[in-house]
Amino acid sequence: MVEIYTNLHSQTQCLTLVLGGSFDPVHLGHIACARSAAEQIGAKRVLLIPAWRSPFKTATGRASALDRLAMCRLAVQGEAMFDVSEIELERGLVSPDSPSYTVDTAQQLAESGDIAWLIGTDHLPKLAQWHRFEELKKLVRLVVMRRAGETIDRDLLPQSVREIASDVIDVPSMAISSTDIREQISTGRSITGMVHPDVEKFIIDQGLYR
């Protein structure tokens, strides 16, 4: 049984920025964007939460949940602002066939303090379709990260999402994606400079994405 990290607010109440995702694998762009967003909104902590199984992704043959967790830990070692949570993996071990719904995680975390949840502009068009979306809006502050070159047309969004689309922060644009990294590895190309060196070593040692 893996341990859930729930002591983020045990000593003082503070704003925690959460970045969830598959992190398959976690890369330097994830860390840079999260750090920039945290500094802009005044968050004292950043919490990475690898999903057990995303409700929007069905691909198989990628890294396991425990491998993705291990890579997240390696990616933030030495980063005083960052932590990694096993909260969705814990639920996944109990109910392996259940997706990792953001609202369930937000409900657990909100009991410990103020939470801001970081999402990309690509999530906005379908955000209203997220599981128990109206409840999620009441639990956490949803913050949109916009990279250079991205635009948001609020008039094209559902009414329930337009207010969230106004809470936008600009973050560094890095030409890195997990999809590209997996492709590079599968074709024998280097990923040096795209992930933390220890993450790269872990991928090589475990033979991931080949």
Residues shown for the chain: 210
The neighbouring-strand residues paired with 169 are 145
- pTM for the predicted model, two decimal places: 0.88
pLDDT tens track for 76-107: 999 999 999 999 999 988 888 888 899 999 99
**Is the Cβ–Cβ distance between 210 and 185 less than 8 Å?**
yes
At 139, list the tokens.
Answer: 């639990």
**Integer Cα distance of 22 and 209 in angstroms:** 14
pLDDT the model gives residue 64 = 93
CA–CA separation, 75 and 73 (whole Å): 5
User: Of 7-16, 135-144, 148-157, which range is least confident?
Assistant: 7-16
Which of 34-38, 96-100, 133-137 bottoms out in mean pLDDT, i.e. has the lowest?
A: 96-100
Which residue type occupies 24? D
C-alpha torsion sign, points 43, 107, 119, 98: positive
* CA dist list (Å): 92 to 13, 36, 72, 88: 28, 30, 17, 6
Contact between 124 and 152 under an 8 Å Cβ cutoff? The reply is yes
The answer, yes or no, to whether residue 11 has pLDDT greater than 60, is no
Q: For the segment 169-189, what is each residue's pLDDT rounded down to a tens digit?
A: 999 888 899 999 999 999 999
C-alpha span between 71 and 110 (Å, rounded): 25
Tokens of 181: 């990294």
The per-residue pLDDT for 5 is 36
Structural domains in the chain, sorted by start: 16-206 (3.40.50.620)
pLDDT at position 53: 77
Give which of 78, 141, 146 is closest to 115, Cα–Cα. Answer: 141
Kindly report, residue by residue over 146-166, the tens digit of the pLDDT.
998 899 999 999 999 999 999
**How many percent of the chain have pLDDT more than 70?**
90
162 CB-near residues (< 8 Å, 6+ apart): 154
